[in-house]
Structure formats: C-alpha cells, structure tokens
C-alpha cells in the first residue's frame, strides 16, 4: 500500500471544503479509481454528514480527490466536495 501525500494546494482545499485528510485517504483506499484530465486519477465516496456547512444543513457529503500515482507514492492534487440533502444508502 503506497503512502499518500498532500500538496499544499490540496491541504488548503481540504480546509476550505470541510473535509479531513482521513476522509480523503479513505476515498482513495476504498473508492473506484477513474481517469481524470491531464493524466490524473479521481475517485469518489459518499459519507453521512448530518451537519451544517456554510449555514445549510446537509445529510451527506461526497468527497472527490484528484491525485496522481507515482512510483512509490500517491500525491493528492486537490479535493472537491459536494454536499447533499438526500440520505445515503449506508
């Protein structure tokens, strides 16, 4: 299992978008990888949230890291987060 590193840009986006590094790591370890633009990879997981984000209540959040797989590590470039009021099936 390759170690996961975060760029400074990814750390800033994680803080802005209400995600923690552990959730991003979980997404990469458990999600299905797909090809993204510029030779990058992406994955997605949906997790229960049941809280407020920027003053609105949401049931779930979807975590979408964008990353590259290098020879001996995985480097997270950025992270997108989408919040939803629909309930997750989990």
The pLDDT tens digits of the residues spanning 9-35 come to: 999 999 999 999 999 999 999 999 999
Domain count, the chain: 1
CATH number at residue 17: 3.10.450
Residue 90 belongs to some domain of the structure: no
Half-sphere exposure of 74 (CA within 13 A, CB side): 20
Q: Residue 76: what pLDDT? A: 98
Q: What is the pLDDT of residue 7?
A: 98
Per-residue model confidence (pLDDT) at position 89: 57
The whole-number pLDDT of residue 53 equals 87
Q: Give me the pLDDT at residue 88, please.
A: 62
The verdict on residue 44 lying in a domain is: yes
CB 57 within 8 A of CB 65: no
Residue 52 and residue 76 in contact, taking contact as beta carbons nearer than 8 Å: no
- pTM attached to this predicted model: 0.88
């Amino acid at each position: 299992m390759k170690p996961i590193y975060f760029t400074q840009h990814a750390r800033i986006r994680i803080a802005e978008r209400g995600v923690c590094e552990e959730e991003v790591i979980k997404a990469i370890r458990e999600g299905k990888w797909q090809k993204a633009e510029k030779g990058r990879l992406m994955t997605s997981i949906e997790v229960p949230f049941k809280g407020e984000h920027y003053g609105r209540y949401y049931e779930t959040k979807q975590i979408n890291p964008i990353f590259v797989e290098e020879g001996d590590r995985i480097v997270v470039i950025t992270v997108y987060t989408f919040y939803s009021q629909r309930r997750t099936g989990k």
